[in-house]
Amino acid sequence: MKARILELLKQNKELFLSGEDISRQIGITRAAVWKYIKQLQSEGYLIKSVSNNGYKLVNCPDILTYEEICENLKTDIIGHKIIHFDSIDSTNNKAKELAEKGEPEGTVIISEAQTSGKGRVGRQWYSQAYQGICLSVILRPNIDLLSVPLITQIACAAICKATIKITDGVQIKWPNDLLLGGRKFCGILTESSGEIDKVNYIIVGIGINVNQEKNDFPESLEKKATSLKIETTNYISRKNFVCDIFYELEKMYMEYKENGIMDDVIDYCRKFSSVIGKQIKVERNGTGSRAKAVDINNRGELLVEFENGNTESISTGNISIM
């Protein structure tokens, strides 16, 4: 009902709609209309209410609900079902729970805040409520478990492409981070379930710092983290940015899923890499080895040359630039 009232108000933007009109068109009482209008106002919708005139929608909030995103959605699958929370422990946890119950490909879980946001290797993901983007996309490609890291590269390339439309200077820090001015503004946590030769589902968890100010980050992150707003000094519309990410993600993902083509993805991962050509430390099994990052191959793996001259392609892992 609330969504229906919002739809009516949006269709008549800039006009007053009487409570009676709304109640007749939707088939609810005027008291119920008033209750839903109050709810919408509490969610941040600016609705002018004038006695004898009715209600007029003046402004919509930058929240990541389906109702706010659908206007700019240009995808066929990703984002056509959005399950939105004001706060949740982790969108990845919720997405896994729903994927286990059969939730189809393309459903997105979005939360304005997370109480236990997860990063890779047991790290935490911290995000100020309503300032960033915290979402998880459910995918069901017909691939084996060894190919899952490719999906992270697809997400990196897609977010990179969407971010370039906002600002220069974006870099991809293989395998799952995006940087601006050398600091992290986006992290991706890909989780999957299935058999070795057939994935059942993949959850692509995306965390992006969008409108945070410097003092929104805890002290421990001050030197490592940044946001799009800090780097550009502009407020960024999260709902527009999310739509663009879905668009770029779906294009690259479908090209891989349907045709096995990754050319565009690998081009982005190479061109915008912050690690290729650099001395790095590869951390594995509790030890770190010095190496040079040489290239990213067609499977999205990082080619490294260790100090003893051995070369290896690594598909996932923890690296740091020295």
- Binding interface with ligand BTN (CB under 6 A): 90-92, 114, 117-120, 123, 125, 134-136, 176-177, 187-189, 205-207
The partner residues of 49 in beta bridges, in order of sequence, read 55
* Sequence-distant (≥ 6) Cβ neighbours of residue 115 within 8 angstroms: 87, 88, 89
CB of 16 to ligand BTN, least distance (A): 40
CB of 282 to ligand BTN, least distance (A): 17
Cβ proximity to ligand BTN, 29 vs 116, nearer residue: 116
Residue nearest ligand BTN (C-beta atom): 187
CB of 159 to ligand BTN, least distance (A): 12
Cβ proximity to ligand BTN, 135 vs 296, nearer residue: 135
Contacts 24+ apart (CB under 8 A), 217-226: 217/126, 218/126, 221/126, 223/183, 224/183, 224/184, 225/183, 225/184, 225/185, 226/180, 226/181, 226/183, 226/184, 226/185
Cβ proximity to ligand BTN, 184 vs 270, nearer residue: 184
Q: How far apart are CA 18 and CA 169, in angstroms?
A: 50
CB of 219 to ligand BTN, least distance (A): 18
Cβ proximity to ligand BTN, 54 vs 211, nearer residue: 211
Q: How far apart are CA 16 and CA 104, in angstroms?
A: 39
Cβ proximity to ligand BTN, 220 vs 259, nearer residue: 220
CA distances from residue 271 to 161, 205, 276, 292, 293 in whole angstroms, order as listed = 11, 23, 9, 17, 14
Contact 136, 203 (CB under 8 A): yes
* Sequence-distant (≥ 6) Cβ neighbours of residue 80 within 8 angstroms: 73, 106
Residue 86, burial from CB neighbour count under 10 angstroms (0-12, 13-18, 19+): exposed
With residue 188 as reference, give the H or E element that holds it: strand 183-195
Q: Is the preceding omega at residue 175 within 30 degrees of 0, hence cis?
A: yes
CB of 82 to ligand BTN, least distance (A): 14
| Axis-axis angle for helices 238-259, 148-164 (nearest 10) | 140
CB of 18 to ligand BTN, least distance (A): 42
Cβ proximity to ligand BTN, 114 vs 153, nearer residue: 114
CB of 147 to ligand BTN, least distance (A): 20
- The phi and psi torsions of 47 (rounded to 5 degrees) equal -120, 115
CB of 142 to ligand BTN, least distance (A): 24
Cβ proximity to ligand BTN, 136 vs 227, nearer residue: 136
Q: How far apart are CA 234 and CA 166, in angstroms?
A: 10
Cβ proximity to ligand BTN, 45 vs 253, nearer residue: 253
- The phi and psi torsions of 103 (rounded to 5 degrees) equal -55, 130
